[in-house]
A = this chain, B = another copy of it.
Amino acid sequence: MPDNRPHCVLIGIGPGTGAACARRFSAEGYRVSIISRSEARLDEFAAEIPHTIPYPADIAETARYREILERVLSEQGRPKVVLYNATQATFGTYTEVPVEKLERNFRVNTAGLLVAAQVFGPAMETAGEGAIVVTGNTAATRGKPNYVGWASTKAGQRIMAESLARELGPKGIHVAYVIIDAVIDMPFARRRWTDRPEDFFAKPDDLAAEIYHVAHQPRSAQSFLVELRPFGEAW
């Protein structure tokens, strides 16, 4: 049975921004339902981060994914904050990207956000409060070569969030879209960009702090589109 901590649902958790968000919300007093495909990884996070409850689910299996979210709602109660951090990408030229991959990316990046809103939104509406924060990147705003299989689904995600923001805002639910314009500081990024200074990378803890801030902006001064980049990033 849930404790008295406010409930945060975190959909999509890897070792970067997702884990940092789980740690931050936990440290700030939240109970965090964490959702990801990999049960093993979820168990590790649940063991490491206090007040997290693992719910394995694959967003690409829509019906099953919806059931899991409904179970989260019934077992953990109405969330105060939903973080949608899932992302699925395919790179390649327009002849290389299978259309099935494109559709799968849309399902994970965009359709899965609608399902989350459908499951948790009505309870949040009843409470008249809460936040849904979606994390994206610059692919959400423009289409570059080799992004043909991905950018369209992130742009779809951003506009889906904007539709939700305009629909749910007047009902007291703050929907925000965070564009992380950065290479996030992760071991693989360090291996790939070995010549970059410390400052080149966005720290997951800093991103999580900003995401936490956005999720708690005062009702009279809220942001929809939020861009975050390291001070040295060229843009």
Write out, one digit per residue, whether chain A residues 114-132 have a CB within 8 A of any chain B CB (1) or not (0): 1101100110000000000
Chain B residues, Cβ within 8 Å of A166: 143-145, 234-235
Residues of B close to A232: CB separation below 8 A: 169-170
Question: A233 vs B170: C-alpha distance in the bound complex, in angstroms?
Answer: 7
Complex copy number for this chain: 4
Most buried by B among A110, A115, A152, A155: A152
- A207 located at the interface, meaning its Cβ lies under 8 Å from any Cβ of chain B in the complex: yes
A38 at the interface (CB under 8 A from B): no
Residues of B within 8 A of A154 (CB): 159
Q: Are B157 and A152 in contact (CB under 8 A)?
A: yes
> Residues of A at under 8 Å CB distance from B?
62, 93-95, 97, 99, 102-103, 106-107, 110-111, 114-115, 117-118, 121-122, 142-149, 151-170, 172, 174, 182, 185, 199, 201-203, 206-207, 209-210, 213, 217-235
Does the CB pair A225–B225 fall under 8 Å? yes
Beyond A106-B110, A114-B102, whether A148 also contacts B170 by CB under 8 A is: no
